[in-house]
Amino acid sequence: MLYVPLTLAGECCTIVSFNFLKLQNRILPKELEYTDGELQDPLEYRSGESVLVLEARATILLNNYAAAGNWQLWRGVLAQTEVLREKLRVGADCKVAGLDGQIIHPFSQDSRIPCLDSTMRTIMRSDGNGATWIDQSTGEDVDEIVRRYSSMKFGHPDEVKYFAKLAAEHFLGEIDGSELLFEKLMGAAEIGATICMMVPGSRNVPSASNLVFEEALDYINMGMFLRGLPSLVNIPVTRLRTSTSDYAQASEAQRKAIEDGTKSVLPGPEFFKHQVYVCFFDDLQVTGSTQARYRNHVIEMNGEGFFLFTLLNVDSYQAASCPQIEDEINHFHIPKTLDSSIVEIVNHPDFVPVQRLLKLILSVRNRGILRFFASDNFSPESMEKLVLKIIGNDFYTQAEFEPSVRIMCEVACVRDKFSCVYSKGDAMTPILNIPRNLSLKA
């Protein structure tokens, strides 16, 4: 049985590389392990070849041996690939390795700066056996983690705290367990470089990811202090406009083509004239387009180094073949309709509105019940938080959200509650009479 159809062209190399990782994790009986026998089709060393292409060539052999049931030679290809992969890294002075000697997400070998990465887990959709989501490496049921992640994505304060502590523990654990990462951070400090934390950008309203890593930063910096390392400096990144509501369902090509105004505006030459080592934190890696954009920007700006940390990675073969998989994860516990789970989040005493929650509340899908649901279920304090953030963002300029913005303002009695911000003259247009054709392009 062949595992996957293969091609070496274009973007398929990325998919092939992760198929290689999946094949690499296959558990074989002890008696079938490779014992340095002769390979029928040895992999030759090609100087300057990228790791992705090497793994693509290796995967073809692995598929052939698997189809023939020759597991000893199958193991031999794995052993030989590891040797050649190390040769390519050393020969290119690439410094592109995953933590603890494992490549998690192979970077291009043309990196001119040290690039490292780590994730807490790589997950994939299960084929059955009760669990919906499993750990890619161990097969462990991770439905509970994905359930808590889903709640966190919509801003549940308890889950934000849970993932913040988890992220801090894992990041500091990687420093303790990887001499390579510790040396890079210490080396950056010794030359006077500033170690910076960046997360995906937002426009006035934070994402849940922003909240998680802002809280994690306090724990991380205490851990850095105890390890004799400098603290990370949080570098806020903004967006000029709100990102599309269906981003989580977009393919990699669609994500790359998204309008520039909705993308994070990254620090420019004035920032990078200082020596900076960038640690980019994200909650989920699906296509890798966001992470690659930050990494490539740091390389182009001649930063001192780049470290990528993600809470969860999605199996890249599944991500490439099913773009909406991120949307499935986000809504694993929180539905797309207004229900008690939304009420629990919004009325929590530590509630902070986040982008994804506001988009769900304002969505066309929920507009028919929004007025009654909000007035019956959201506390006055929560309504005030919601409306202030809704207006602080640019939702009222977008056709898909603007009618729902009006409803929320009416439910919140904006005219009475926020009378202090109204002009005393007649020139001001009250918020409830915003022209329907108002847009940023006007």
If one counts the domains in the chain, the total is 3
Number of other residues whose CB lies within 10 A of the CB of residue 19? 23
Given this model, what pLDDT does residue 189 score? 85
Q: Are residues 210 and 247 in the same domain?
A: yes
**Domain's final residue, options 266, 301, 330:** 330
pLDDT for res 181 = 84
- How much is the average pLDDT of 196-218? 95
Q: Are 282 and 361 found together in one domain?
A: no
Asked if residue 97 has pLDDT above 60, the reply is: no
In a shared domain, residues 256 and 395: no
Contact 140, 76 (CB under 8 A): no
Q: What is the mean pLDDT of residues 400-410?
A: 93
pLDDT tens digits for 261-303?
578 899 999 999 999 999 999 999 988 888 888 988 998 898 9
**Do 316 and 347 lie in a common domain?**
no
Same domain, 298 and 373: no
Examine the fold and report which residue of 68, 91, 114 is the final residue of a domain before the chain moves on: 91
Average pLDDT, the chain: 76
Q: Are residues 161 and 58 both part of a single domain?
A: no
**Residue 343 pLDDT greater than 50, yes or no:** yes
For residue 25, tell me if it sits in a domain: yes
Residues with Cβ < 8 Å from 224, sequence gap 6 or more? 172, 230, 231, 232
Residue 442 lies in a domain: no
In a domain, 6, yes or no: no
What CA–CA distance (Å, rounded) separates 76 from 397?
A: 60
**Considering the domain boundaries, does residue 335 fall inside one?**
no
Least confident window among 1-5, 65-69, 80-84, 105-109: 1-5
Separation of alpha carbons 200 and 263, rounded Å: 9
Say whether both 429 and 307 belong to one domain.
Answer: no
How many CA atoms within 13 Å lie on the side-chain side of 325? 24
The model's confidence at residue 441, banded by pLDDT at 50, 70 and 90, is very low
Is residue 350 within 8 A of residue 53, CB to CB? The reply is: no
Whether this prediction's pTM lies above 0.85 is answered by: no
Domain check: are 352 and 243 in the same one? no
Give the pLDDT confidence score for residue 157 in this predicted structure: 98
- Mean pLDDT, residues 42-71: 66
Beta partners for residue 121, in sequence order: 312
The set of residues, in sequence order, having a beta carbon less than 8 Å from that of 385 and lying 6+ positions away, is 351, 352, 353
> Greater confidence, 432 or 357?
357
Query: In this structure, is residue 2 part of a structural domain?
Result: no
Residue 232 lies in a domain: yes
For the chain, how long is the longest CA-to-CA vector? 89
Phi, psi values for residue 277, rounded to 5°: -110, 120
Nearest to 387 by CA among 364, 417, 347: 417
Please say if the pLDDT value at position 166 is more than 90: yes
Question: Position of tokens 């909000």?
Answer: 374
Residues 110 and 185 in one domain: yes
Same domain, 49 and 106: no
Contacts 24+ apart (CB under 8 A), 288-296: 288/14, 288/105, 288/252, 288/316, 289/252, 289/255, 289/256, 290/200, 290/255, 290/264, 291/105, 293/263, 293/264, 293/266, 294/198, 294/264, 294/266, 295/107, 295/115
User: pLDDT tens across 349-382, in order?
Assistant: 999 999 999 999 999 999 999 999 999 999 999 9
Averaged pLDDT, 341-345: 98
What local confidence, expressed as pLDDT, does residue 67 receive?
67
Q: Is 80 exceeded by the pLDDT of residue 1?
A: no
Within a domain: residue 208? yes
- For 127-153, write each residue's pLDDT tens digit: 766 779 999 888 899 999 999 999 999
Residue 256 per-residue DSSP state: H
The per-residue pLDDT for 417 is 62
Q: Which of 219, 294, 244 is nearest to 264 (CA)?
A: 294
Confidence class of residue 98 from pLDDT cuts 50, 70 and 90? very low
Q: Which of 89-103, 264-278, 291-305, 401-415 has the lowest mean pLDDT?
A: 89-103
Contact assessment for residue 434 and residue 398, using Cβ atoms and an 8 Å cutoff: no
* Residue 440 forms part of a structural domain: no
Mean pLDDT of 73-82: 71
Residue pair 369/179 in contact by the 8 Å Cβ criterion: no
- Domain shared by 191 and 77, yes or no: no
Per cent of the chain over pLDDT 90 is 43
Shared-domain flag, residues 356 and 312: no
**Domain closes at, from 91, 119, 154:** 91
Cα(282)–Cα(112) distance, rounded to whole angstroms? 23
Mean pLDDT of 82-90: 60
Residue 106 has pLDDT above 50, yes or no: no
Which residue segment(s) compose the domain that 63 sits in?
12-91
Give residue 426's pLDDT: 45
Top pLDDT among 339 and 34 is at: 339
Identity of the highest mean pLDDT range in 126-140, 142-156, 225-239, 403-417: 142-156
pLDDT for residue 390: 94
Residue 429 has pLDDT above 50, yes or no: no
